[in-house]
Amino acid sequence: MDKVYVNGMDFYGYHGVFPEENRLGQRFHVDVVLETNTQEAGLTDDLNKTVNYAEVYELTKGIMEGKAVNLVETLTEKIAAVILSQFITVQAVVVKVTKLNPPINGHYESVAVEIRRERQ
């Protein structure tokens, strides 16, 4: 399978289990890898034969800037599910959601959850 990468999407959301996360919000970083066949698109130069990156961004944005959830795991599952439901040519998707500044005592750069889901 070929891979299409949509990397470095940044959003501000109100997700988390701590009240301050829901009240103040925080930054999230999202990377998506779409496993699909890009040959026909490459040979025909036709956007309709591949995954529209702008649509992937907008679907991801709707989840990340939408209704708050507690877990980063929930965000990754929602993004994977919507991509698989909206793009029939995508056979598998890898989604990585990074919480850049979670309110946890200690010194670290970020926390992240990455999942891979396949079309059934």
Positions marked active-site: 99
The pair phi, psi for residue 110, each rounded to 5°, is -170, 175
Query: 110-116 long-range contacts, Cβ below 8 Å, gap at least 24?
Result: 110/29, 111/72, 112/72, 113/72, 113/73, 113/75, 113/76, 114/76, 115/73, 115/76, 115/77, 115/80, 116/92
* Cα 37–chain centre separation: 20
The pair phi, psi for residue 27, each rounded to 5°, is -85, 145
